[in-house]
Amino acid sequence: MKGSSQSPRPSVSLSVSLRVSGRAYKFGDNINTDVIYPGKYLSITTDREEMAKHCFETVYPEFLKNAKHGDIIVAGKNFGCGSSREQAATCLKYFGISAIIAESFARIFYRNAINLGLPVLVAPDINQKVEHNDSIEIDLETGILKNMRTNEVIKATKLPPFILEIIKVGGLIPYLRKKLGIEK
Amino acid sequence: MATIAEKILAKASGKEKVVPNEIVMAKIDIAMSHENADVVLRSFREIGVKHVWDKNKIVILFDHRIPAESEKSATTHKRLREFVKGQDITYFYDMKEGICHQILPEFGHCRPGEVLVGTDSHTTTHGAFGTFATGIGATEMSGVWATGELWLKVPESIKINITGPFKHYVSAKDLILHIIGMLGSDGANYQAVEFHGKTIKRLSIASRMVLCNLSMEMGAKVAFIVPDEKTIAYVKERTDKKFDVMLPNEDAYYANVIDIDVTNLESQIACPHAVDNVKSVKEIEGTKINQALIGSCTNGRLEDLAVAAKILANKTVHTDVRLLVIPASRKVYLEAIKKGYIEIFVKAGSLVLNPGCGPCLGAHQGLLAPGEVCVATTNRNFKGRMGSPESFVYLASPATVAASAIQGEITPPAES
């Protein structure tokens, strides 16, 4: 089984801290959701840990071996284009990806990530300012990033307060439970 | 002063007017999910609401894996049938009807001026009826099931004016591939696309749906055909519900205006592995193929089958090629039988499959082996989309696919 050489991943924390740090795992432009989560696994509808075992499996199988819990995906333009499959965001969240910074996102993936409480930030030229394996710190509240290797401070587009609020509570479901007054 | 998108979102959010980039809470008129309703259901249970907000506004249907290709999918179908019964959902279409983006309009769920969301990216198709129709994720759909509302950012709009007559065998599919090639796969990201012009007015409803369906492949949030008498006649024939036709104002603001004359447009084809990698069919004429596919939410409608049948009549599918034909819906299938198209396909040596998504998304029914080439009327040719990551998918019109199936290689339709 792919990725079986890894030690078991720590369980994913669902609430999100506004300060995120991690190692950059890089991708190029136009990474589509068929590539992130292959169509043949769409019959997995409820088991999120199972979804996490198939991230990028068909086209970039090395991801499952090399990526680590807590990594930050850094990508070019139009990340997450194509199908609306939420599994593409879910698999990354449950793999343990702590945030995604891209030059731009396709809209449905962007919404899915936010709704699952997976922080997503838009930063122009990010792919030129960060190398694979660089250590990155993110302040979600201000949208300021720092590349710890180069000490460069990078400005991402600040998240609107409404979206930040959804991410802060861990996604749309806890947000709605709070709004609808449903007790835990 | 406003575009179609701005007018519909203003109404849906109870405001006088809205402006691009404003976030609004919109009331949803129709919420559609196919098998991924199972993903929605898990989130819906986590919210903890007992009943859906409106059992008459949710549509659930099966089209992606029909009949069930695995025990897992069979279990999904079973669980959803039980949920539909338990919640008394009015509009449920089990696997016999066909593809969501064909049966929503067929059963009168698409109406001008309304907001329609679907857990499927090609939900933009329904903008062909002047509906604000967009694809959303499963978790946010569970929020819609619970509350009937959804946050939406008001998109900027772009206007595409189409003029001129099409050449013989050049169709809406060739036009939209040409536009995607020109603008790129994120050329309309987050934007609302409005199609205007004399050529659009002449297009059939099915061809209009092709334009809106594939607008998603350049990132569009929604795409509209400006509603006209053709739209209204189609919708009124299928629903008694009253609707407000929303038209753009003459002085509406557009972020971009593009004029295209189709007079000299040739048959187009999207080459592996990106929908915006578009060439004229002539440029790659002669590329050998192993599979050809006519169907999908893009091109599985009666007019698509009609043009394919015309080309395939009294011809034989090349011995090295398997041609799959998948009518978009049961109604389309029945009409195609009555008109004799299905007999032509079977005589020519095609495999006619049950209405549904088929192999388009690589789930089942005709996947590709490493090194194989398929030319399809579908909507995506990403690496590994239809099977092996070492296979190659080309996207073209039904006429090009039919002509290529006969020749065993990519062929412009007129020359077959």
pLDDT tens figures, B330-339: 999 999 999 9
Domain boundaries, given as residue ranges, for chain A: 19-179
Find residues 70-129 of chain A whose CB sits inside 8 Å of chain B: 77-78, 81-87, 89, 104, 106-108, 111-112, 115-116
> Residue A1: what pLDDT?
37
Q: What is the mean pLDDT of residues B18-46?
A: 96
B296 within 8 A of B395, measured Cβ to Cβ: no
Q: What is the mean pLDDT of residues B285-304?
A: 98
- Determine which of A156-170, B148-162, B250-264 has the lowest per-residue pLDDT on average: A156-170
Give the count of beta carbons closer than 10 Å to the beta carbon of residue A28. 10
Q: Is the pLDDT of residue B414 over 90?
A: no
Among the partner-chain residues A81, A172, A182, the one whose CB lies closest to the CB of B143 is A172
Contact A43 B363 (CB under 8 A): yes
Contact A40 B65 (CB under 8 A): no
> Residue A17: what pLDDT?
78
Contact A106 B140 (CB under 8 A): no
Mutate to test the interface with B, among A14, A33, A36, A42 (most CBs of B within 10 A): A42
CA dihedral sign, ordered B337, B342, B344, B346: negative
To the nearest whole angstrom, how far is the Cα of B323 from the nearest Cα of chain A? 22
- Structure token pair of residue B118: 């679907």
| Residue closest to A64 by CA, chosen among A3, A1, A133, A23 | A3
Contacts of A85 in chain B (CB under 8 A): 36
The whole-angstrom separation of Cα B63 and Cα B397 is 22
- Structure token pair of residue B298: 């893009």
Query: How far is CA A88 from each of CA A1, A97, B400, rounded to the nearest angstrom?
Result: 20, 12, 33
Tell me the average pLDDT of chain B.
97
Fold of B4-260: Aconitase; domain 3 (3.30.499)
Q: Is the pLDDT of residue B133 over 90?
A: yes
CATH architecture of A19-179: Alpha-Beta Barrel (3.20)
Degrees to nearest 5, angle at CA B120 with B114 and B123: 35
Q: Dump pLDDT digits (tens) for B316-332.
A: 999 999 999 999 999 99
The whole-angstrom separation of Cα A78 and Cα A93 is 19
The whole-angstrom separation of Cα A120 and Cα A125 is 15
B221 within 8 A of B215, measured Cβ to Cβ: no
Contacts of A43 in chain B (CB under 8 A): 65, 69-70, 72-73, 76, 363
DSSP 3-state assignment of B76?
helix
- ipTM value: 0.91
Give the count of beta carbons closer than 10 Å to the beta carbon of residue A53. 18
Give the count of beta carbons closer than 10 Å to the beta carbon of residue B138. 27
The distance from CA B400 to its chain's CA centroid, rounded to whole angstroms, is 19
Q: What is the mean pLDDT of residues B187-194?
A: 96
> Residue A183: what pLDDT?
66
State which amino acid sits at residue B64: H
Give the count of beta carbons closer than 10 Å to the beta carbon of residue B257. 12
Strands A120-122 and A135-139: what pairing? unpaired
Contact B38 A46 (CB under 8 A): yes
Q: What is the mean pLDDT of residues B184-201?
A: 96
Contacts of A83 in chain B (CB under 8 A): 121, 361, 380
A113 within 8 A of A100, measured Cβ to Cβ: yes
A182 within 8 A of B49, measured Cβ to Cβ: yes
State which amino acid sits at residue B201: K
Q: What is the mean pLDDT of residues A92-109?
A: 97
The distance from CA B46 to its chain's CA centroid, rounded to whole angstroms, is 31
> Residue A10: what pLDDT?
53
Of the pLDDT bands very low, low, confident and very high (cuts 50, 70, 90), residue B24 is: very high
Residue intervals of chain B classified under CATH 3.30.499.10 are 4-260, 269-415
Calculate the dihedral angle through the C-alpha atoms of B378, A57, B136, B174, rounding to the nearest 10 degrees: -20
Contact B39 A106 (CB under 8 A): no
- CATH 3.30.499.10 matches B269-415: yes
Kindly provide the residue ranges of all beta strands, DSSP E only, lying in B183-314, ordered along the sequence: 192-196, 222-225, 256-261, 268-270, 278-280, 291-294
Of the pLDDT bands very low, low, confident and very high (cuts 50, 70, 90), residue A12 is: low
Q: Is the pLDDT of residue A99 over 50?
A: yes
- Structure token pair of residue B198: 């004399």
Element (H, E) at A138: strand A135-139
Query: How far is CA B164 from each of CA B5, B186, B198, B397, rounded to the nearest angstrom?
Result: 26, 26, 8, 19
Q: Dump pLDDT digits (tens) for B205-234.
A: 999 999 999 999 999 999 999 999 999 999
Helix ranges (DSSP H) in B150-240:
172-183, 198-202, 205-215, 229-236
> Residue A104: what pLDDT?
96
- Determine which of A156-160, B11-15, B37-41 has the lowest per-residue pLDDT on average: A156-160
Of the pLDDT bands very low, low, confident and very high (cuts 50, 70, 90), residue A14 is: low
The whole-angstrom separation of Cα A183 and Cα B103 is 39
Whether residue A1 lies within 8 A of chain B, CB to CB, comes out as no
> Residue B1: what pLDDT?
82
Terminal Cα-to-Cα distance of chain A (whole angstroms)? 37
Strands B91-93 and B58-61: what pairing? parallel
Query: How far is CA B353 from each of CA A103, B76, B301, B364, rounded to the nearest angstrom?
Result: 41, 22, 14, 12
Burial pattern B370-405, b for ≥16 Cβ within 10 A else e, equals eebbbbbbbbbbbbbbbbbbebbbbbbbbbbbbbbb
B309 within 8 A of B280, measured Cβ to Cβ: no
| Residue closest to B120 by CA, chosen among B190, B64, B57 | B64
The whole-angstrom separation of Cα B120 and Cα B32 is 8
Q: Dump pLDDT digits (tens) for B80-104.
A: 999 999 999 999 999 999 999 999 9
pTM value is: 0.94
> Residue A16: what pLDDT?
66
